[in-house]
Chain A
Amino acid sequence: MTGEIITFKKRSSKQTQLQEFIVRMILLFCASISIITTIAVVATLFGESASFFQEVPLREFLFGTRWSPTLVPRHFGILPLLTGTLMIALASSFISIPFGLGSAIYLSEYAPKKVRRVLKPILEILAGIPSIVFGFFALTFITPLLQALIPSTQIFNALSAGIAVGIMTIPLVASVSEDAMSAVPDSMRKGAFALGATRMEVTTGIVLPAAVSGIGASFILAISRAIGETMIVAIAAGQSPVLTLNPLESIQTMTGFMVNLSLGDIQHGTIEYKTVFAVGSMLFLMTFVMNLLARLTIHRYKEARK
């Protein structure tokens, strides 16, 4: 073998180590941004809330039944917003849980491959539709439908918004539940089939019980998403913070209030500004606890399967 001799420029190990060190530090910095974000969220929410609670007693906030933070005489009882939010969550879960779980069971246990290949992308499209579009759908389609069925339904009402939120969260329940079900080892199914069980018996007797924690987690995630959903309720649920349990009336949710107030120009330092942060803290706490619960459940069953 002839030809000119090619010599490699050997980089010193110090040079390489320095480069590796710099790269590592940059990446570590980027990774810590997520931690910084969490700390910043907690700090800003609770910082502003702290000054809110210097003006409003915690007791009034948590147990008061009247909410009128912008009108004198001001009242800061969050219960009307809380019941409004919970009504949306409840109504949506009547849609998302049965239909989401049904889809998950069908896709994981029954659907032939071809059907799956069509249905999965459709669910993904549904999941990708912006919530504002669901809000429009609730206001211009679901509400008129409800009014035709039950004439006493108000234009803005909790049920219509709740149904739209429910439709929006079907894909979430479906995909998380399906993940849980497909994590059930096939050997368990085969064992039951070998005993002559029908597919339904295998599903309800073996798969669902084995996947129950993951399915539960999907429900929690869906409800948490419903609690935090904003644009649908801002459009379709109304702006009346009244303490009611009638889903056909106009209500206001925590998120609805926050958006509504922010549409105006709220000045920093005013009680309105602080109120938004106090409500935001409440919202954050509720969803945070639910998400943590769901994530830990999912993490546990994934570890157990390893």
Chain B
Amino acid sequence: MMSQPPLSPSVNQDVATPRKLFLQGHPGLNGRRKAKNNIYHGVLLAGTLFAVVMLGLLLFQVIRSSIGWLDWQFLTSLPSRFPKKAGILSAMAGSLWTIGLTALIALPIGIATALYLEEYSDARKWFNRIIQLNISNLAGVPSIVYGMLGLAVFVRLAGFGRSILSGALTLALLILPVIIVTAQEALKSVPLSLKEASYALGVSKWQTITGVVLPYSMPGILTGAILAISRAMGEAAPLIIVGAAGYIAFLPTSPLDAFTVLPIQIFNWTSRPQEEFQHVASAGIIVLIALLLTTNTIAILLRNKYQNRMD
């Protein structure tokens, strides 16, 4: 598989092996090899910077387009047919409701699953291996497919209708794999010696988990959870399938209300023919990104707080 440089001493004395050329001080060969290496290095660096440049361009484009459109009126108004009057309030409220509910559903289930897999199950048993493989596979299922599951099961079968609850349940299933896998990594990082110390005091497994394992791994679990929740906050496709509306002119008051979320509202504006709505959309994108940044900051603060308590 690997191309090896010729190592065995050559039978024919006249053949120029790399070593001989090197010993003869052959400048061309080494110079060329070094130059090639440098060019390669340059190309790789440029390739890596491509992503950086694209990120910069993307943010630049969004900010430039939103100038003059992102104002207090935009933040506090309901959507409108007129670009100047359009606002994002109902979408923000919808997003907060949906994401809050999603976190409430997905976090306990995700952490419990990770606990089962890491602390209770025997990883060699076929059933547990299937659970593990299944989780990594679910992580790759397109989000729109979760939308179809939500439509069939939560909207119709369970009768929750096209509501916040249906949307949150759908998103919860969508982000479960991420929460589980990151929580598993965090649980794996708990030193065995701490668990042993707890067991040696005659403390039961579950008490050891609540007393030592969870406090120790909480920063890692939280980080993963917030990552997952950020992902849910940016999702539009599954919620469109579940039936979130593009136009909601009221604020939700219960989980069974109809709703829209920021990405869908943005999508709705992007697909309008009037040029002005592109600016409204970009203002919406800024709000969405700001919300994502806030969540991530909260995550970091929470994590630091936990870590301080641990040290």
- Does a CB–CB distance below 8 Å link A and B in the complex? yes
Residues of A that sit less than 8 Å from B by CB: 16, 19-20, 23-24, 26-28, 30-35, 37-38, 40-41, 44-45, 47-48, 98-99, 102-103, 105-107, 110-111, 119, 122-123, 125-126, 128-137, 139-141, 167, 170-171, 174, 195-201, 203, 205-206, 209-210, 212, 221, 224-225, 227-231, 234-235, 255, 258-259, 262-263, 268, 276-277, 280, 283-284, 287-288, 290-292, 294-295, 299
Of B52-60, B74-82, B303-311, the one with at least 4 CB within 8 A of chain A: B52-60
| CB pair B177 A280 closer than 8 Å | no
The answer to whether the Cβ of B266 comes within 8 Å of any Cβ in the partner chain is yes
Give the distance to chain B from A175, nearest Cβ to Cβ, in Å. Answer: 12
Majority DSSP secondary structure for residues of B touching A: helix
Question: CB within 8 A of B51: which of A32, A122, A201, A235?
Answer: A122
Enumerate chain A residues within 8 angstroms of B133, measured Cβ to Cβ: 295, 299
A255 to chain B, nearest CB (A): 5
Task: Give Cα distance in the complex from A33 to B180, angstroms.
Answer: 12
Show 30 residue pairs from A and B whose CB-CB distance is below 8 angstroms, ordered by the A residue: A20-B206, A23-B206, A31-B112, A34-B134, A38-B138, A98-B47, A102-B46, A102-B50, A103-B44, A119-B52, A126-B54, A130-B233, A130-B288, A130-B292, A131-B234, A133-B58, A134-B58, A136-B281, A170-B54, A195-B5, A196-B18, A198-B34, A199-B37, A201-B37, A258-B144, A258-B241, A284-B141, A288-B140, A288-B141, A291-B140
* CA–CA, A207 and B46, complex, Å: 20
Would you call B204 and A19 a contact (CB within 8 A)?
yes
Interface centre among A126, A228, A262 (most CB of B within 10 A): A262
Bitwise, B116-145 to A at CB < 8 A (1) or not (0) is 110011000000001101111110111111
State the CA gap A212–B2 with chains docked (Å).
11
Distance in angstroms from B116 CB to nearest chain A CB is 4
| Complex Cα spacing A107 to B243, Å | 42
Residues in chain B near residue A111, CB distance under 8 A = 48
Known: A34-B135, A41-B141, A288-B137. A140 touches B117 (CB 8 A): no
Residue of B nearest to A292 (CB): B137
- Which residue from chain B places its CB closest to the CB of A36 in the assembled complex? B173
Contacts of B231 in A (CB 8 A): 128
**B22 interface residue (CB < 8 Å to A):** yes
Q: Within the complex, what minimum Cβ distance (angstroms) separates A91 from chain B?
A: 15
CB distance from B219 to the nearest CB of A (A): 17
Alpha-carbon distance A141/B41, docked complex (angstroms): 30
Contact between chains at A48 and B176 (CB < 8 Å): no
Selected from A27, A107, A126, A174, the residue in CB contact (under 8 A) with B113 is A27
Q: Residue A198 contacts which of B36, B55, B112, B204 (CB distance < 8 angstroms)?
A: B36
Asked if B288 and A231 sit within 8 Å, CB to CB, the answer is no
Known: A16-B204, A284-B141, A295-B133. A103 touches B55 (CB 8 A): no
Q: How far is the CB of A270 from chain B (nearest CB, A)?
A: 13
Counting CB contacts under 8 A, is B153 at the interface? yes
What separation, in Å, do the CA atoms of A158 and B233 have in the docked complex?
26
B257-280: contact bitstring with A at CB < 8 Å (1 yes, 0 no)?
A: 000000100110011000000100
Within the complex, what minimum Cβ distance (angstroms) separates A166 from chain B?
10
Most B CB within 10 A of own CB, among A34, A141, A283: A34
- A283 and B144 contact, CB distance less than 8 A: yes
Does any Cβ of A come within 8 Å of B3's Cβ?
yes
Counting chain A CB atoms within 10 Å of each CB, which of B47, B144, B240 scores highest? B144
| Cβ–Cβ contact B236 & A122, under 8 A | no
The 8 Å CB contact of B177, one of A34, A200, A210, is A34
B62 close to chain A: CB less than 8 A: yes
CA distance A99 to B108 in the complex (A): 38
> B3 to nearest A CB, angstroms?
5
A283 touches B230 (CB 8 A): no
State whether A171 touches B2 (Cβ < 8 A): no
B98 interface contact, C-beta 8 A:
no
Asked if A136 contacts B285 (CB within 8 A), the reply is yes
- Is residue B289 contacting chain A, with contact meaning CB distance below 8 A? yes
In the complex, the answer to whether B117 meets A287 with C-beta atoms within 8 Å is no
Q: Does B149 contact A (CB under 8 A)?
A: yes
Nearest to B33 among chain A residues (CB) is: A198
List chain A residues, Cβ under 8 A from B205.
20, 23
List, in ascending order, chain B residues with CB within 8 A of A262's CB.
Answer: 147, 240-241, 243
Distance in angstroms from A301 CB to nearest chain B CB is 13
Closest 5 CB pairs of A and B: A228-B142, A130-B234, A102-B47, A291-B140, A30-B112
**B15 interface residue (CB < 8 Å to A):** no
Tell me if B185 is interfacial: C-beta within 8 Å of chain A.
Answer: no
